[in-house]
Structure 1
Amino acid sequence: MTESFDAVAYNRAAWDREVANGNEWTRPAGREVIDRARAGDWSVVLIGYRSVPRGWFPAELSGVEVLCLASGGGQQGPVLAAAGAAVTVLDNSPRQLDRDREVATRDGLAVRTVLGDMRDLSAFPDASFDVVFNPVSTVFCPELAPVWRDSFRVLRPGGILMTGFLNPDVFIFDVEALDERGELVVRHPLPFSSLDLPDDERERSYGTGPIEYSHSLAEQIGGQLAAGFTLTHFDEAPHHADATARYLPGYFATRAVRP
């Protein structure tokens, strides 16, 4: 890959392929999930399969303006809309946004979709939202400071940022050994990006999937604080799909507030 590599374009095409391949995070919520959400029985995830504590959200979602940031796929956005929120979904993948529109059309939901890079929220005015909801997607973003700065800008005072992200330590392990044999072979120094791998090895380990980046906790948590947020809650969970789950948390989640 060259220095002119366009991560946004590459990952846009990669996530469109993930939709075609049936990646679990591209499968839209079923009608029964939406019906339960309309009745007040709803949950969404930030990390793995762990439901976000209801106390992280406003007590009443009706009329709450939510930006689902890099959160296409027809899952979280439609559920929150069915629960009463006014939902906008921004995602880099047109086909992921198609999933949100499919659910919205099927179930009569008002979900606004916007195609874009999570680092650039210029489509939205200042103080547009009450909640920014960002499940594990910063791993596909080359730099995070613009994400936190723009999230802060588009939130109203008192607005909530919820984000889930990968523990960067999971990236020290050789991917082939981890995925094929369940072995934890320490190989990569941090920071790591799958872009650093030779093309043939990246294809063996990641297939045609998106480029990933191992952002440090200083970039993730420190970056939110530097942008002006106040951290209120923290959670962690094992990775739902690999052998690191036996030894360390693979995911972290934070809740922060714009003062």
Structure 2
Amino acid sequence: MDTKMHNSIAWDKKVEEGSAYTLPVNSEIIERSKRGDWEIYLTTKKPVPRDWFPTSLDGVKILCLASGGGQQGPVLAAAGADVTVIDLSKKQLQQDEMVAEREGLTVKTVFGDMADLNMFEDEYFDMIIHPVSNLFVQDVLPVWKEAARVLKNKGILISGFTNPLLWLFDETLEEKGILEVKHSIPSSTLDHLPADEVQNHLDSEQTIEYAHTLEDQIQGQIDAGFVITGFYEDDFGGTRIIDKHIKTFIATRAVKMKVD
């Protein structure tokens, strides 16, 4: 089966259902961003530190990678950046287009796969913003390699992703307050389901998520030519029992260092 297109359809459905990650920013946020009072989120609660960005975003070419939904892209455009948003959900991209039209912003949208940026030339972007989205791709290493290819030398990659330990536990039991280790890493949503429930999951157009190793998430960036220069953690905001024990979201700032 084509799992990428399955997730494309599943995210279109999330837009229809009004999932939090598909809700576009309001006009007040855009107005503040135009005045220089802006912030974006790659995880749940913590904003990305402002010192992870250049002092001014005027004219900075930013690729919002698998970042549709009318959230990060419009804010950065309102702050002065030259923004391109790529996503594999057409309805997520429509959220960016809607905000741009509503607020008089210029935001370019591209329907495409985060692991295949062939539509962009080498060393074109100054920055890439990549929220928690690579859990929807089976192999994360091509994502880092393509990010390095399209970034300029010393370009900045800011990424959010999940700590794989989140997937270790039986989710049904966790909802009852019990943390029981059941799954291994790497694995996927489909691996965690009983065989007789897999087709129901697919038929209901729910997303397929992939638990990547920390080695692929962090060393994968390093192997692609990045140097990690920033790191923070975040959680679900107290909605999961595991929040009481450890934070399960990670964000990194990485700089492309081209070796001559």
Bin for the TM-score computed over the shorter chain: over 0.9
Contact 2:6 2:205 in 1 (8 A): no
- Aligned pairs (5 A) from 1:183-202: 183-196=178-191, 197-198=193-194, 201=197
Q: Establish whether residue 55 from structure 1 lines up as the match of residue 56 from structure 2.
A: no
Residue 235 of structure 2: aligned partner: 238
Distance 1:200 1:66 in 2: 44
Residue 212 of structure 2: aligned partner: 215
Alpha-carbon distance, 1:234 to partner: 1.0
Residue 174 of structure 1: aligned partner: 170
When normalised by structure 1's length, the TM-score is 0.94
- Aligned pairs (5 A) from 1:120-159: 120-159=116-155
Please, which runs of 5 or more residues in structure 2 have no aligned partner?
none
Q: Establish whether residue 92 from structure 1 lines up as the match of residue 84 from structure 2.
A: no
* Letter in structure 1 aligned against 2:206: G
- How many matched pairs? 254
Distance 2:195 2:52 in 1: 41
Residue 42 of structure 2: aligned partner: 46
SS in 2 for 1:47: coil
Alpha-carbon distance, 1:243 to partner: 1.5
Alpha-carbon distance, 1:15 to partner: 0.2
Q: Establish whether residue 229 from structure 1 lines up as the match of residue 226 from structure 2.
A: yes
Distance 1:207 1:25 in 2: 19
SS in 1 for 2:211: coil
Distance 1:176 1:183 in 2: 9
When normalised by structure 2's length, the TM-score is 0.94
Alpha-carbon distance, 1:200 to partner: 5.1
Distance 2:178 2:19 in 1: 24
Alpha-carbon distance, 1:201 to partner: 4.0
Residue 255 of structure 1: aligned partner: 253
Alpha-carbon distance, 1:239 to partner: 2.6
Alpha-carbon distance, 1:238 to partner: 2.1
Q: 1:51 to 1:156 in 2, by over 3 A?
A: same
Distance 2:177 2:27 in 1: 36
Q: 1:159 to 1:17 in 2, by over 3 A?
A: same
Q: Aligned to 1:73, which of 55, 69, 89?
A: 69
Tell me the percent identity. 48
* Letter in structure 1 aligned against 2:215: A
Distance 2:182 2:139 in 1: 23
Q: Deviations over 1:41-80 (max 9, x none)?
A: 1100112121000000111101000000000000000000
* Letter in structure 1 aligned against 2:43: I
SS in 2 for 1:117: coil
Alpha-carbon distance, 1:133 to partner: 0.4
Contact 2:9 2:205 in 1 (8 A): no
Question: What is the Cα-based RMSD across aligned positions, in Å?
Answer: 1.6
Please, which runs of 5 or more residues in structure 1 have no aligned partner?
none
